[in-house]
């Protein structure tokens, strides 16, 4: 995904992390928007269900999306 794009969450590839992300409101089927990168290219900032979240790139990669 590129900054500014929006997509739907499809699923997660990491079980441990998925529990945390689910609790934070990243549910399959919700819209997620990629806001911007941190200056050094990692972590990233995303918007989901009305609020902003920061994730490391490696963490963001575990989220599967449908664009």
Partner 1 sequence: MKEPALRIALAGKPNAGKSSLFNHLTGLNQKIGNFPGVTVDKKTGYCQLSEAVSAEIIDLPGTYSLYPRTLDERVVTEVFANSKSSLFPDRVVLIADATNLKNCLLLLSQLVDLNLPTILALNMVDLAARSGQSIDVKKLSEELDLPVVMINARLGEGVEALKRELTKPLSPSRRKTFTISPEIMEPVSIIKQHFRLASDYDAYQFLQQPENLKFLSDEQKAFIRKTAGDFQFFPAKYQGAETIQRYAFIQNILNAAVIRASDSDWKKASYSIDRILTHKVFGYAIFLAVLFLIFQSIFAWATIPMDFIDSSFAQLSHYLAKTLPEGPLFDLLAHGIIPGIGGIVIFIPQIAILFAFIAILEETGYMARVVFLMDKIMRRFGLHGKSVVPLMSGMACAIPAIMATRTIDNWKERIITIFVTPFMSCSARLPVFTILVALIVPDNKVLGFFNFQGLALMGLYLLGFLAAVFSAAVMSYLIKSEEKSYLVMEMPTYKIPRWKNVGYTILEKTKAFVFEAGKVILAISIVLWVLASYGPTEEMNAGKTVVAEQTRGMNLTQEEIDNRIASYHLEHSYAGKLGKTLEPLIRPLGYDWKIGIALITSFAAREVFVGTIATIYSIGNTEDEVTIKEKLRQEVDARGTPSFGTATSLSLLVFYTFAMQCASTLAVVYRETKGWKWPLIQLLYMTTLAYFSALVIYQTLK
Least distance to partner 1, CB of residue 10, Å: 14
Q: Token pair for residue 63?
A: 């989220």
Residues lying near partner 1 in the complex (CB under 8 A) are found at 15-25, 27-28, 35-36, 38-43, 45, 49-56, 59
Least distance to partner 1, CB of residue 60, Å: 10
Query: Quick check: 28 and 7 in contact, CB under 8 A?
Result: no
Pick between residue 2 and residue 16 the one whose CB is nearest to partner 1: 16
Q: Token pair for residue 61?
A: 């990669």
Q: Token pair for residue 3?
A: 């900054």
């Amino acid at each position: 995904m590129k900054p500014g794009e929006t997509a739907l969450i499809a699923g997660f590839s990491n079980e441990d992390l998925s529990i945390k992300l689910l609790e934070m409101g990243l549910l399959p089927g919700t819209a997620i928007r990629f806001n911007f990168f941190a200056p050094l290219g990692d972590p990233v900032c995303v918007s989901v269900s009305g609020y902003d979240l920061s994730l490391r790139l490696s963490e963001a990669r575990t989220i599967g999306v449908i664009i």
